[in-house]
Amino acid sequence: MTLAAVPDLAGATNLAAATNEHLASISNTLIYSAMAVYTLAFFAYIAEWLFGSRSKVGRTAAALTATARAEARGPAVTVKKDGGTAVLERPQVVVRSAAGARDVPDGPGAHGGDEQGDMYGRIAISLTVLAFLVELGGVIARAASVERAPWGNMYEFNITFSTVAVGVYLGLLALKKNVRWLGLFLITTVLLDLGLAVTVLYTASDQLVPALHSYWLYIHVSTAIFCGAVFYVGAVATILYLFKDAYENKLATGGKPGAFANSVLDRLPAAASLDKFAYRVNAAVFPLWTFTIIAGAIWAGDAWGRYWGWDPKETWSFITWVAYACYLHARATAGWKGRKAAYLAMIAFGCWLFNYYGVNIFVTGKHSYAGV
């Protein structure tokens, strides 16, 4: 079992415990309220990018040019006169990053070092915190309405997943990590996720089938949600790395990026920094994903009398594990750094997305979501 799986047991009936409709209604109101605040945060992030300084392009271009010239010169030396003395001056040595990318300074961030942009960025973060707390209240109210963990169907999993994803982002900020550049991309997808949840995937609050009443529900599903949120953050960083790397390559070859690239991509961290960030978050959460699969197998043994049966959900959970294992192995191998490894990371996250949506909605098996 993985990702809040609900066993489709023939003849199983819901428990007779009543649902607190008042709390369920409060939960719905809080989720819609969180969406409204996230929307305000989205516009604040847009303002941060728009009003932030866009005058940093020259620094990146100059750094790339200096790198290219230094590599072209090689170990040659030049001679200059200092008064009456000839002085040998060696060219500056440029050290290339571990990912094989050229050494380019990190961009100044979404606000671009601009005071006005920074103000909008701080407003955006404050609104994100408020929306996170409101959404968390909606998740808790949903759980209280039926006195269980709020992971019994796709709607509940979606609202919990988006809450945890925002929590991961805010946690990184609290740890003084430079991840404000994630804000706009994160909130955009969170709004899409919640929009899908309240329209297509919405399911009325109800009780769980008997097989789900196990302490493994709290262990297995909570770790699956957290892993998914961290994988998502890593995927966003990987996508931005691919764009930033192409941008740096274009500058290095004398190309002229468009206005959008100069405005947005120049202010992101350097490609090497994005690559390193994505690798670190994926590597950090991979052991927990391994535990998630093991915990699901143990729960399946309790619920169905067998630990592994190659059910579609189990199979795709394992495929996702293999894909991320291949990425981590490739990323640690000298010949598979940079873009090659990034493509593997995107394939791995694609497997996770299919496990999240495709298997639960389109594939028939023991794992299914009530009301979908």
Q: State pLDDT tens for residues 27-60.
A: 999 999 999 999 999 999 999 988 877 544 444 4
CA–CA separation, 125 and 130 (whole Å): 9
Poorest-pLDDT segment among 29-33, 113-117, 138-142, 331-335: 331-335
Render 170-238 in DSSP notation, one character per residue. Answer: HHHHHTT---GGGHHHHHHHHHHHHHHHHHTS-----PPPGGG-STHIIIIIHHHHHHHHHHHHHHHHH
pLDDT at 1 exceeding the cut of 70: no
The answer on 303 and 226 residing in a single domain is yes
The answer on 296 and 158 residing in a single domain is no
pLDDT at 230: 94
* Owning domain of residue 29: 19-56+110-206
Mean pLDDT across the chain, nearest whole number? 79
pLDDT at 289: 94
The answer on 307 and 191 residing in a single domain is no
pLDDT at 12 exceeding the cut of 70: no
pLDDT at 8 exceeding the cut of 60: no
End-to-end CA distance of the chain: 18
The answer on 140 and 222 residing in a single domain is no
Render 59-116 in DSSP notation, one character per residue. Answer: HHHHHHHHHHHHHHHTT--EEEEETTEEEEEPPPP-PPPTTS----PPP--TTTT-HH
The answer on 268 and 337 residing in a single domain is yes
CA–CA separation, 188 and 37 (whole Å): 12
- What does DSSP assign to residue 357? I
Q: What does the pLDDT average to over 84-107?
A: 50
Contact in structure between 210 and 217 (CB atoms under 8 Å): no
pLDDT at 192 exceeding the cut of 90: yes
Last residue of a domain, which of 191, 206, 221? 206
Q: Give a yes or no: residue 243 inside a domain.
A: yes
For residue 112, what pLDDT band results from cuts at 50, 70 and 90?
Answer: confident
| Cβ within 8 Å of residue 76, ≥6 positions away | 91
Q: What does the pLDDT average to over 147-159?
A: 85
The answer on 11 and 148 residing in a single domain is no
Q: What does the pLDDT average to over 348-359?
A: 89
Q: Are strands 6-7 and 367-368 parallel, antiparallel or unpaired?
A: antiparallel
pLDDT at 9: 34
CA 267 to chain centre: 19
The answer on 232 and 125 residing in a single domain is no
For residue 217, what pLDDT band results from cuts at 50, 70 and 90?
Answer: confident
pLDDT at 16: 37
Q: Give a yes or no: residue 352 inside a domain.
A: yes
pLDDT at 362: 72
Last residue of a domain, which of 164, 180, 206? 206
Give the residue with greater pLDDT, 103 vs 233.
233
The answer on 271 and 323 residing in a single domain is yes
Q: Give a yes or no: residue 199 inside a domain.
A: yes
Contact in structure between 27 and 141 (CB atoms under 8 Å): yes
Q: Give a yes or no: residue 67 inside a domain.
A: no
Q: Give a yes or no: residue 78 inside a domain.
A: no
The answer on 331 and 295 residing in a single domain is yes
Q: Give a yes or no: residue 319 inside a domain.
A: yes
The answer on 272 and 173 residing in a single domain is no
pLDDT at 54: 58
The answer on 276 and 154 residing in a single domain is no
pLDDT at 5 exceeding the cut of 50: no
Mapped onto helix, strand or coil, the DSSP state of residue 244 is: helix
- Give kind and range of the element (H or E) at residue 6: strand 6-7
pLDDT at 99 exceeding the cut of 50: no
- pLDDT tens digit string along 258-306? 777 777 888 888 888 999 999 999 999 999 999 999 988 888 777 677 7
Last residue of a domain, which of 206, 224, 252? 206
Q: What does the pLDDT average to over 205-215?
A: 67
pLDDT at 89 exceeding the cut of 70: no
pLDDT at 164: 95
pLDDT at 118: 87
Contact in structure between 23 and 203 (CB atoms under 8 Å): no
pLDDT at 95 exceeding the cut of 60: no
CA–CA separation, 190 and 170 (whole Å): 14
Residue whose token pair is 């490609």: 271
For residue 208, what pLDDT band results from cuts at 50, 70 and 90?
Answer: low
Q: Give a yes or no: residue 62 inside a domain.
A: no
Per the structure, the count of domains in the chain is 2
Sign of the torsion formed by the C-alpha atoms of 167, 187, 239 and 118: negative
The answer on 276 and 127 residing in a single domain is no
Q: What does the pLDDT average to over 187-192?
A: 94
pLDDT at 321 exceeding the cut of 90: yes
Q: Give a yes or no: residue 221 inside a domain.
A: yes
Give the residue with greater pLDDT, 372 vs 283.
283
pLDDT at 150: 84
Contact in structure between 151 and 4 (CB atoms under 8 Å): yes
